[in-house]
Amino acid sequence: MPRTPLTRSLTASRFNPGPGLADFWSYIRRPVPHRWPILALSVLPVAGILAWALEQRYYAAPERPRIEYITTLAAGRSDAEIAAENRANQEIKDLRAAEEARIAEEKRKMYKALGRASGFDVEAMERAAEAERAAAEAQKRKAIEANARKLAAQGAPQ
């Protein structure tokens, strides 16, 4: 019967460890100086890697969070109650914005006084800052309009 690659691989494996182990045993039996320290140094990296790998801990994935809805609002609120609460929140927001604007104006006045005392041209600096703020506002407005046009072209509700 002719030997094909299939029959050859079934009869004799290329990965037979027997000859390799016999060769290793004959090498180990030879009287080589410093055999045991070299063997210990050879085993040391593998042992270190295995010790590190076996020390690793893997934890299970955390439990998925449960969704909780806002429970501080009454479930059966009417539209009028919601609108009244929204108006009250808007008033608070407007008061905070007015207070922040007042504080910003006070800061501007203090910095102007400091600038004048230091010899700076405060009016020119203010004009430059106002022009910069106006340019930023115009750019923001332009981006909003471009986005609105793009949404309108796509047919999306605004």
Ordered by start, the domain boundaries in the chain are 79-120, 121-158
Q: Where are the beta strands (DSSP E) in the chain?
A: none
Rounded alpha-carbon distances, angstroms, from residue 125 to 18, 24, 44, 111, 135:
89, 86, 71, 11, 15
CB within 8 Å of 28: residues ≥ 6 apart: 35
pLDDT at res. 34: 86
pLDDT value, residue 141: 96
pLDDT higher for 26 or 87?
87
Place of tokens 């801990």: 57
Tens-digit pLDDT profile for residues 94-123: 999 999 999 999 999 999 999 999 999 999
pLDDT higher than threshold 60 for residue 9 = no
pLDDT bucket at 7, cuts 50 / 70 / 90: low
Find the mean pLDDT for residues 40-56. Answer: 90
Give the DSSP letter of residue 16.
Answer: -
Tens of pLDDT, residues 50-83: 999 888 787 888 888 888 776 777 778 899 999 9
* pLDDT score recorded for residue 2: 55
Q: What is the pLDDT of residue 36?
A: 83
Please tell me the distance from the alpha carbon of residue 65 to that of residue 69, in angstroms, as a whole number.
12
Most confident of the ranges 16-20, 35-39, 114-118: 114-118
Question: Does the pLDDT at position 6 exceed 60?
Answer: no
Q: How far is CA 80 from CA 36, 76, 77, 84, in A?
A: 89, 12, 8, 6
Please state which of the ranges 13-17, 49-53, 60-64, 136-140 shows the lowest mean pLDDT.
13-17
* Whole-angstrom distance, CA of residue 27 vs CA of residue 38: 13
Whole-prediction pTM value?
0.41
